[in-house]
Amino acid sequence: MADAYDVIILGSGPGGYVCAIRCAQLGLKTAIVERENLGGICLNWGCIPTKALLRSAEVLHNMKHAADYGLAADNIRADLDAVVKRSRGVAKQLNQGVTHLMKKNKITVHMGTGKLTAPGKLEVTSDKGTEVLEAKHVVVATGARARDLPFAPADGKRVWTYRHAMTPTELPSKLLVIGSGAIGIEFASFYNDMGSDVTVVEMMDRVVPVEDADVSAFLEKALVKQGMKIMTGAGVESLAGSDSGVKAKIKAKDGAVSETDFSHVIVAVGIAPNTENIGLETLGIKAERGIIAIDGYGRTNVPGVWAIGDVTPGPWLAHKASHEGVTAAEAIAQALGNKDVHPHAMDKRNIPGCTYCHPQVASVGLTEAKAKEAGYTVKAGTFPFIGNGKAIALGEAEGFIKTVFDAKTGELLGAHMIGAEVTELIQGYVVGKTLETTEVELMQTVFPHPTLSEMLHEATLAAYGRALHI
């Protein structure tokens, strides 16, 4: 007899486990299927452990600049093994936390590889054999993996994905990072601070190409100042690995091709959804290039089957997956007769993006260029960190905050930041956008002094020619 549930979630990443918790809170009999680690890639091999690594690099950077703060620190060095050990410890602690949350919410966990075999049926295979689970609703939350270069698959020795880069056995002496999205730039920043000679190759015409052009330009200058070599409009044509390193053939923006030796390479050219061999074809679930088509609540074209997170259209971010998980859970509860829940489709324009390099980058909504392309008449304002007292006191006076408003209605269309702690500051504008704020509300908001958050106010004022401290 198959185990029967109201909901089964396939995958326990930040989308899957949050969806399971919300389902349980709504009184649904819930199970989760996970083939590796509770918490998924984000918690165990992505968002969280990388931030632990970057924190170590940040502390090292600050120690090396102790004299800037009137302090003395001698014989500063990094213990790579200890840095990695701390990162893995943080991931383990949070994995145990998710395990506790499953027990607390009475969610049944089935460890193994799941596959849809029929509407409402899942086969779960593990070293203990195969079991069949049944549910009224199934949520696919299997996430994604790093995309390989077709001519140079990662081997974990000289050619790394993000997963290899998180557990290095040696510090790269000369590192090539292919791709300057969030993952690539974060690892470039970490290894540069740790002492590696870092080169970044990006095929687009600027680094972090999804960000506002002004942010990209500022970040490139900052990274070059830190000692990195940045090659935009360039591509890697081949990689030839050996026991001692990797020879890379790189085509520069001007078309010139050169060969350079590196000790290691990190490939950060995107992700691929984990949707192979999970039964999509068997049930006739619509997908394009592995990305599952859904409506605003996570429904697929097959009744009773839902999808969330990195297997659905982007942006591919952990917080987007979690929010989709809650929305799907509430929509499922409503479908099962709960009249007290009122799910809302997510507005993707209000999803923030964060990159934890040094300096940090954060944004929400439309860039100035995208707003103009969409037909808006815009008012844009920029306020620099150097105009903020708290930033100067912190010794973090490099960066700026940029706002983009609709000149006709005052609607906040977008905000873009680079500098210290902007990944925390961005939420002020995210809340504002979600509440459909205009420039008037932001101008009339009282910000505490002295704080970095005052720059949110000043950047709004700047868009209307009213900035006070610059």
Residues that are catalytic:
449
Cα(238)–Cα(399) distance, integer angstroms: 36
Cα(306)–Cα(296) distance, integer angstroms: 11
138 and 19 in contact (C-beta within 8 Å)?
no
Cα(264)–Cα(155) distance, integer angstroms: 11
What are the DSSP calls for 20-86, one per residue?
HHHHHHTT--EEEEESS-TTHHHHHHSHHHHHHHHHHHHHHHHHHTGGGGT----S----HHHHHHH
Q: Which residue has the tokens 């934890």?
A: 356
Count the Cβ atoms, other than its own, within 10 Å of residue 52: 17
Residue type present at position 307 = A
Cα(457)–Cα(443) distance, integer angstroms: 6
- CA-based radius of gyration for the chain: 24
Cα(269)–Cα(144) distance, integer angstroms: 13
Phi and psi torsions of 104, nearest 5°: -60, -40
Q: Is the peptide bond before 359 cis (omega within 30 degrees of 0)?
A: yes
Helix (H) or strand (E) holding 313: none
Helix (H) or strand (E) holding 268: none
Phi and psi torsions of 197, nearest 5°: -85, 110
311 and 291 in contact (C-beta within 8 Å)?
yes
Query: Cα 199 to chain center, whole Å?
Result: 22
Phi and psi torsions of 162, nearest 5°: -60, -35
